[in-house]
């Protein structure tokens, strides 16, 4: 008798094994349908991800524009406040000088500080606009 091991008999590619009656019912068509569904899900996920990135870019652009506008408005308001304080301090210094009151220390110094702040704000605005 010959010793015959059934495991040594490897089937050729595409050949059914003993007892096989053919491919499993619906496996090849289900596999391709599953592949198509998976591909469609991947494409949908990629499209949604791109749309979310686009929304985020647009939101960031709107935020930057709003911040820039708020910064300009704030700079103008600060400039107006400093100009008013300088004007008020100068008029107070002139009135104090006419009455022979001390006019240099409180009013003139405040006017000088406000004008220096206004000049610094102008320099900052010019540098920032470049």
Tell me what pLDDT residue 129 has: 86
Instruction: Please report whether residue 11 resides in a domain.
Output: no
Residue 124: inside a domain: yes
Output the six-digit token pair for 14. Answer: 């595409």
How does pLDDT run along the chain (130 residues), one tens digit per residue? 556 555 555 555 556 666 667 555 545 557 898 999 999 999 999 999 999 999 999 999 999 999 999 999 999 999 999 999 999 999 999 999 999 999 899 999 999 999 999 999 999 999 998 8
Domain that holds residue 76: 26-129
In this prediction, residue 5 carries a pLDDT of 58
The answer to whether 59 touches 109, Cβ cutoff 8 Å, is: no
DSSP string, 4-22: --GGG-PPPTTPPPTT--S
> Helix or strand or coil: residue 1?
coil
Give the integer Cα–Cα distance in Å for 66 and 18.
Answer: 75
Domain count, the chain: 1
The pTM of the full predicted model, rounded to 2 decimals, is 0.63
45 sits in which H/E element: helix 27-98
Residue 86 included in any domain: yes
């Amino acid at each position: 008798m010959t010793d015959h091991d059934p495991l040594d008999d490897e089937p050729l590619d595409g050949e059914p094994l003993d007892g096989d009656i053919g491919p499993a019912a619906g496996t090849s068509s289900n596999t391709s349908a599953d592949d198509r569904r998976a591909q469609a899900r991947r494409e949908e996920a990629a499209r949604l991800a791109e749309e979310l990135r686009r929304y985020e870019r647009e939101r960031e652009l709107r935020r930057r524009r709003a911040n820039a506008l708020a910064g300009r408005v704030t700079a103008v308001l600060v400039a107006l406040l400093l100009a008013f304080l300088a004007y008020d301090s100068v008029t107070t210094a002139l009135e104090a000088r006419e009455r022979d009151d001390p006019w240099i220390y409180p009013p003139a110094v405040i006017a000088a500080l406000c004008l220096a702040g206004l000049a610094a704000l102008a320099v900052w605005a010019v540098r920032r606009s470049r």
